[in-house]
Amino acid sequence: MGFNSFEFALFLPVVFLLYWYVFPQRKNQNRLLMLASYVFYGLWDWRFLLLILLSSWVDFYAGIHIDKHRGSSRAKYYLWLSLAVNLGTLFVFKYFGFFINSFIAFFQMAGVPMPSLSLNIILPVGISFYTFQTLSYTIDVYRNRIETRKNWVDFFAFVSFFPQLVAGPVERASWLLPQFEKDRQFNIEQAKEGLRFILYGLFKKLVIADFLGNKAHELFSTYESQSGSDLLLGLYFLYGAYIYTDFSAYSEIAIGTARLFGFKLSKNFAFPFFSRNIEEFWQRWHITISTWFRDYVLILSLRSPLRKLGMFPLMMLMFAAIGLWHGANYTFILWGVLNGLVFWVYLKLRKWGWVTATEGRAKLTDIPSILLTNFFIGFLLVFFGSNSLGSAFDYIRRIIDPSFFTFPEYATYYPVILGLLAWEWPFREGWHGLEVAEWHPVIRWTLYFLMSFGVMYHFGQVKDFVYFQF
């Protein structure tokens, strides 16, 4: 049941009415949210529920026993139990086939005969997201950053909260769990803002992202026959724009839906294509996952014996892990490592005084640095979108072709992206591109009507959100 489906259009108002008018007490609201989340998730495949229930149960009881045995070696045992169950489950369902086939390929290249192996393991939707979310709880309990929770309903509702269950934002237990433990009162202004989030997200998904999606996939599937100009510009104006509009749309709908129920989720995108350097980009792109890796991988590594490796190797390992999180493919790993390398070079240049850190909101005079940043970020997407390293390098090779100087065939799509960026520029320090509550009512409601018409026109043409595959 996706946000862009008829089923969700019926599901959301029913849960909303039950939540506020039938079960106004907090405890019953949490029970309703937990049940509704399991229905929402189970409609993909009821077997997936077993995994999320396992993760929730293990981490709930691991947290209790970590607190009970705090200061002893048994506390660390329960932390490792949580890590083993969660990361082990993630490994089996997402990475086992990748590593086994890589192992076989390595020995075959060395001349050792190895049998081929084909595994048909279904990747559970959202497993990469809720696994990291629930791990934040046990790690922070072990670090004594948050208190152990004893109410299993609140905890299970936190892990399975349906607005952000499938594709984030990846919430920290320290931020979202306390919201389940407080009484919530309906706030009309908060609900209005939630609806603006949802409308803008649906518009970006149905009208823009789905429009670009087919051509973005066509760009990579038929790159051998595309001109060099289309191959280069398509990385930015088709594929990059498609990934951004599709994924940020999901986050905006999730944030808006949560606000309808009195919850505030974390900001996941902050207009990343207005970033003036790669450091700022990673502070604006998929914020909740990049900060998760920073806090739970890089910083904890620097406080462990791994710090002897040095900052550069640990930073490369972190970015490699970010790439691997996105998918079981060497293309994602290289994409992550190259982003880390560019990030490292930028930090060195700043240390040497060759570049300066950016402050405040982006200005028109920052456009050259914005374009330079997007050049690096967009070009590296060739690895993100390719099926293999061979096809990625072949894609790059075909850019350097006499056809690079021809007029791009996909140029008719580019004004859509330029128009979106021009629209979002005034909102670049806000939460989304529809923060128009203070506009004149006639202009505001005309805008709402036009965007709603676009959403309704395309509604029902269900295409999965791109990050469902991660």
Asked if residues 135 and 13 have their Cβ atoms less than 8 Å apart, the reply is: no
Structure tokens at 36: 């509704």
Asked if residues 184 and 29 have their Cβ atoms less than 8 Å apart, the reply is: yes
Q: Is the dihedral of CA 281, 285, 291, 292 positive or negative?
A: negative
Say what angle helices 173-180 and 152-160 make with each other, to 10 degrees: 120
Asked if residues 281 and 377 have their Cβ atoms less than 8 Å apart, the reply is: yes
Choose the catalytic residue: 326, 432, 440, 458: 326
Asked if residues 258 and 161 have their Cβ atoms less than 8 Å apart, the reply is: yes
Burial label, 13 (beta-carbon count in 10 A; 0-12, 13-18, 19+): exposed
Asked if residues 33 and 157 have their Cβ atoms less than 8 Å apart, the reply is: yes
CA atoms of 257 and 251, how far apart (whole Å): 10
Asked if residues 219 and 239 have their Cβ atoms less than 8 Å apart, the reply is: yes
Active-site residue, 326 included: yes
Cα 270 to its chain centre, rounded Å, is: 13
CA atoms of 295 and 322, how far apart (whole Å): 13
End-to-end CA distance of the chain: 17
Say what angle helices 48-68 and 73-90 make with each other, to 10 degrees: 170
DSSP per-residue codes, 340-369: HHHHHHHHHHHHTTSS----SS--GGGHHH
Q: Angle at CA 442, nearest 5°, toward 453 and 415? A: 50
Q: Which amino acid is at 351?
A: K
CA atoms of 38 and 52, how far apart (whole Å): 9
**Cβ within 8 Å of residue 161, ≥6 positions away:** 33, 37, 171, 176, 258, 263
DSSP per-residue codes, 145-199: SSPPP--HHHHHHHHH-GGGTTT-----HHHHHHHHTS-----HHHHHHHHHHHH
Cα 271 to its chain centre, rounded Å, is: 14
Q: Any idea which residues carry the catalytic annotation? A: 326
